[in-house]
With several copies, the nearest count.
Chain A
Amino acid sequence: MSAGESASVTIPLVPPRTGDPEITSELVADHGLSDDEYERICRIMGRIPTFTELGVFSAMWSEHCGYKNSKRLLQLLPTEAPWVIQGPGENAGVIDIGDGYALAFKIESHNHPSAVEPYQGAATGVGGILRDVFTMGARPIAILDSLRFGDLDSARVRYLFGGVVSGVGDYGNCVGVPNIGGEVAFDRGYEGNPIVNAMCLGLMKKEDLITASASGVGNTLMAVGARTGRDGIHGATFASEELSEESEESSRPQVQVGDPFTEKLLLEASLELISSGSITGIQDMGAAGITSSAAEMAGRAGNGVEIDVARVPVREPDMTPYEILLSESQERMLVVATKGYEGEVHRILEKWELEAEEIGEVTADGRFRVLEDGAVVADMPALPLTDGCPTYEREGIEADEVRELREMDLAEHLIPEGDLTKAFLLLLASPNVASKRWIYHQYDTTVRTSTAVRPGGDSGVIRIRGTEKAIAATTDCNGRFVYLDPRQGAMIAVAEAARNLVCSGAIPTAITNNLNFGNPLKQHIYYQFREAVLGMADACKAFETPVTGGNVSFYNETDGLAIYPTPVIGMVGIIENVSHISPQSFQSEGDDIVLLGENTAEIGGAEYLYVTAGLVAGFPPRVDLTHERQLQRAVLTMIQEKELRSAHDCSEGGLACTLAECALGDGEAPFGVNVVLDDALPPVATLFAESQGRIVVSCAPDRTENVIRLAMDHGVPARKIGTVGGREESFHVTAVSGQIETDLTSLHQAYFGALPAIMNTPVSSEK
């Protein structure tokens, strides 16, 4: 029997429920289903669906749950490696990190909710990703957040940015999970459509892994945690007015409010439940609520489920089955308790002052059946809900204007308008380059007492207590590069993530990804999506970093204008020994500064162009995956052999900004810098181009020869470019026909002062 066809001969009839609207073609369209899809549903059902059933199908077959327009391409991503324990398809991916431990990790987007209500949108995004990780049996040990906003000169954008940051912070801080990194970019391309992606890492003993499946016929389904309200019902696909006449807008809020305190209790209770052995499966009620968690758990086990919605604890009176099934209230779990162990579940939940209610059971008949006080209101085959969703492959064509931008002649921009030092300080103070301290000083980074490298470095590092190991993690994506050349841009995102991990002393191990795009029904967007997936697949193969999961967020558009395609890469790596953890900033006066890799004139897509000319144009820098591999092997070897004092990857703002970051460190006691660059390039290119494959390292002078030899052995160009100066000296970088010279106070002020100064000006929630 294939998904989509039910073998049952008798089709269970479900009488329409009093008060439910009649199924009309408008209602079907309002549910975001095409005529073809609706016909398919009728065929699967063997009859016309009831209102409740239609709601269930529409949620499960939405882009969000069904991956209609992405599934086929996502299958091209590499997902396997000996260390992968759980690939895509579960709440989170899981890898083996040795010593009996496994690491669960996943990234998730909350873009649309954050655009409406930044604080709650971001907060609930963090809540959701934490649940995805702890429902695997892992204790969350780190959070990262990847953010994009419009330019900060708008008061509304500052409001969104400020709200998102405090939302991310307050939620994670309250639950007690350290934030160890992330990224943020500001560009008019994200005006009106902020990107809020949150990533979580969790640690568990390998044997504690539990999957989300409704196994064991006769086992009891239990709703655990917060009560169900009318939050975010069918946010994406349904206009509230049509639901019923008396439902006014105010009774049907789209905004979900996060409750991190309840989440913390739920986290402790869930881990206790899992180790108690009284349950066989557990899943977060995330998007599409009880419906998707029950259907997915049934699907994975090949079983059916029966749920009585009258037994679900609700927050508001008179909720219909439709509303209860599709509510997206936060901090709720669906748990499958082993028959006879329900009492144990109650006992644990009571200890944590949480509610648990028996709402149904696992059945053998493969049906997704819903009762309301004993009366059937929905009865449908379970498997087609998850596996029967039609998937599409579309035609993708590049937009002409992007090609024109890419091919724009940038020669004139290589000649600096005025003073190079001035341009440099401007670049360093650009919110895209400047210190992000304003953000992560609002995040608890040290709770759980295992953070070895806090945000601000190339990657965050968490040591694993009781072992010699540590885990490094990073998120990366330069949306401008992806916009100008999606395939190249996606490869750069993977390469940069890997480079960041290596600079911290880690071996890149696996990725999770969050694909943020516009409307995939548009050919040029689908083109971006396809090319980005292909680029990501190639790079992941080259770095042997399989994809263990991820998330797709389409329709990030306002007034028909899409965001830059932004496939965020969340990468994790293993540090074999905590003594390998390597800082990014200079450590000692008199050390040599060595550049690995080559400077080029590839100014395309660089921050310098945006800051000086407001331009996003040109060919993004070329990325040579073989060179990247060699470079990364070389740096890892140097770190492991203790040749280096620091290593920092070159990215936004180019070599000059990288050197400034190395010199400034955490700002407490910056070092001077004396660097001479003899590249036969215009100084703007040498200093500010964002060419790939470069890492700046520092080492004791007596190690320099060795470092350069090691690089050469790996086939990586390397040369000494200068020395680390004293605390009283200046920042001095000379290129062939131009130079940067500035005192450390100005350097400090530009880099650390920029974001606080901007965020001290008023914000406004008004559009």
Chain B
Amino acid sequence: MNHFRMEILVKPRPGLLDPQGKAIHHALRSLGWSDTQDVRVGKAIYIDLEAEDSDTALQTAQAMCRKILANPVTEDFEVSIVENTERITA
């Protein structure tokens, strides 16, 4: 088994209102960053898991997204591997 750290980025679907992004945009502008055009806020989820290989790891993470991590109606997700270490067995 290998150890993987997965990075899962969950973002609001384009076109949907993003109140968080709107409020942050407003704040950035009032701090003087007037060249800011748009802000969208999503989640970054890091999961450490064990899997046979990277394909399995990716598939597992995707299944997790569909089942629980992302809201299929309002969010899109992206999955990638940020770390892959062979497990040291004692």
B-binding residues in A (CB < 8 A): 116-117, 119-120, 226, 229-231, 250-253, 255-259, 261-262, 315-316, 329-330, 353, 761-766
When chains A and B are docked, how far (Å) is the Cα of A261 from the Cα of B24? 13
12 contacts between A and B (CB under 8 A): A226-B17, A229-B17, A231-B17, A253-B13, A255-B74, A256-B17, A257-B12, A257-B16, A257-B74, A259-B17, A259-B19, A761-B30
- Among the listed stretches B3-11, B45-53, B64-72, which one makes contact with chain A, having 4 or more residues with CB under 8 Å of it? B64-72
Residue on B nearest A231 in the bound complex, by CB: B17
When chains A and B are docked, how far (Å) is the Cα of A315 from the Cα of B15? 9
Query: A116-B73, A762-B30 are known contacts; what are 12 more A-B pairs with Cβ within 8 Å?
Result: A229-B15, A229-B17, A231-B17, A253-B13, A253-B15, A255-B16, A257-B74, A258-B19, A262-B19, A353-B26, A762-B31, A764-B31
Contacts of A120 in B (CB 8 A): 74
**Proximity string of chain B (25-55) to chain A, C-beta cutoff 8 Å, 1 when within and 0 when not:** 0110011000000000000000000000000
Known pairs A117-B73, A120-B74, A766-B66; A257 contacts B18 (CB<8 A): yes
A-binding residues in B (CB < 8 A): 12-19, 22-23, 26-27, 30-31, 66-68, 71-74
Contacts of A329 in B (CB 8 A): 17
Residue on B nearest A761 in the bound complex, by CB: B30
When chains A and B are docked, how far (Å) is the Cα of A746 from the Cα of B83? 50
Known pairs A116-B73, A761-B30, A765-B72; A250 contacts B15 (CB<8 A): yes
When chains A and B are docked, how far (Å) is the Cα of A330 from the Cα of B17? 9
Say whether B74 contacts A117, CB under 8 Å.
yes
**Min CB distance, A762 to chain B, in Å?**
5
Which residue of A119, A251, A330, A766 is within 8 Å of B15 (Cβ)?
A: A251
Top 5 nearest A-B pairs (CB, nearest first) are A259-B19, A257-B17, A117-B73, A762-B30, A253-B15
When chains A and B are docked, how far (Å) is the Cα of A257 from the Cα of B22? 12
Which residue among A253, A256, A329, A764 has the maximum number of chain B CB atoms within 10 Å of its CB? A253
Residue on B nearest A766 in the bound complex, by CB: B67
Known pairs A116-B73, A353-B26; A765 contacts B15 (CB<8 A): no
Contacts of B17 in A (CB 8 A): 226, 229, 231, 256-257, 259, 315, 329-330
Known pairs A117-B71, A120-B74, A255-B74; A762 contacts B15 (CB<8 A): no
When chains A and B are docked, how far (Å) is the Cα of A259 from the Cα of B71? 18
Contacts of B19 in A (CB 8 A): 257-259, 261-262
Tell me the dominant secondary structure on chain A's binding face.
loop
Contacts of B23 in A (CB 8 A): 261
**Min CB distance, B22 to chain A, in Å?**
7
**Min CB distance, A334 to chain B, in Å?**
19
Known pairs A251-B15, A353-B26; A765 contacts B74 (CB<8 A): no
Contacts of B71 in A (CB 8 A): 117, 119, 765
Say whether B15 contacts A259, CB under 8 Å.
no
Say whether A765 contacts B67, CB under 8 Å.
yes
Contacts of B18 in A (CB 8 A): 257
Which residue among A226, A229, A761, A765 has the maximum number of chain B CB atoms within 10 Å of its CB? A765
**Min CB distance, A721 to chain B, in Å?**
45
When chains A and B are docked, how far (Å) is the Cα of A119 from the Cα of B72? 13
When chains A and B are docked, how far (Å) is the Cα of A117 from the Cα of B16? 13
**Min CB distance, B5 to chain A, in Å?**
17
Contacts of A116 in B (CB 8 A): 73
Known pairs A250-B14, A315-B17; A762 contacts B27 (CB<8 A): yes
Contacts of B66 in A (CB 8 A): 766
Which residue of A230, A255, A353 is within 8 Å of B73 (Cβ)?
A: A255
Residue on A nearest B12 in the bound complex, by CB: A257
Contacts of A231 in B (CB 8 A): 16-17
**Min CB distance, B62 to chain A, in Å?**
13
When chains A and B are docked, how far (Å) is the Cα of A614 from the Cα of B19? 39
Contacts of A252 in B (CB 8 A): 15
**Min CB distance, A194 to chain B, in Å?**
14
Say whether A765 contacts B68, CB under 8 Å.
yes
When chains A and B are docked, how far (Å) is the Cα of A258 from the Cα of B74? 12
When chains A and B are docked, how far (Å) is the Cα of A261 from the Cα of B27? 14
When chains A and B are docked, how far (Å) is the Cα of A763 from the Cα of B67? 9
Contacts of B13 in A (CB 8 A): 250, 253
Residue on A nearest B73 in the bound complex, by CB: A117
Residue on A nearest B32 in the bound complex, by CB: A762
When chains A and B are docked, how far (Å) is the Cα of A230 from the Cα of B68? 27
When chains A and B are docked, how far (Å) is the Cα of A256 from the Cα of B16? 7
**Min CB distance, B37 to chain A, in Å?**
13
Contacts of B30 in A (CB 8 A): 761-762
Contacts of A226 in B (CB 8 A): 17
Residue on A nearest B69 in the bound complex, by CB: A765
**Min CB distance, B58 to chain A, in Å?**
19
When chains A and B are docked, how far (Å) is the Cα of A252 from the Cα of B27? 28
Which residue of B16, B26, B27, B31 is within 8 Å of A253 (Cβ)?
A: B16
When chains A and B are docked, how far (Å) is the Cα of A763 from the Cα of B71? 12
Residue on A nearest B27 in the bound complex, by CB: A762
Which residue of B14, B27, B72 is within 8 Å of A251 (Cβ)?
A: B14
**Min CB distance, B43 to chain A, in Å?**
14
**Min CB distance, A593 to chain B, in Å?**
43
When chains A and B are docked, how far (Å) is the Cα of A155 from the Cα of B72? 16
**Min CB distance, A161 to chain B, in Å?**
16
**Min CB distance, A226 to chain B, in Å?**
8
When chains A and B are docked, how far (Å) is the Cα of A329 from the Cα of B22? 15
**Min CB distance, A588 to chain B, in Å?**
41
When chains A and B are docked, how far (Å) is the Cα of A725 from the Cα of B17? 45
Known pairs A230-B15, A255-B16; A764 contacts B67 (CB<8 A): yes
Which residue among B19, B23, B68 has the maximum number of chain A CB atoms within 10 Å of its CB? B19
**Min CB distance, B15 to chain A, in Å?**
5
Known pairs A229-B15, A231-B17, A251-B14; A259 contacts B73 (CB<8 A): no
When chains A and B are docked, how far (Å) is the Cα of A316 from the Cα of B17? 10
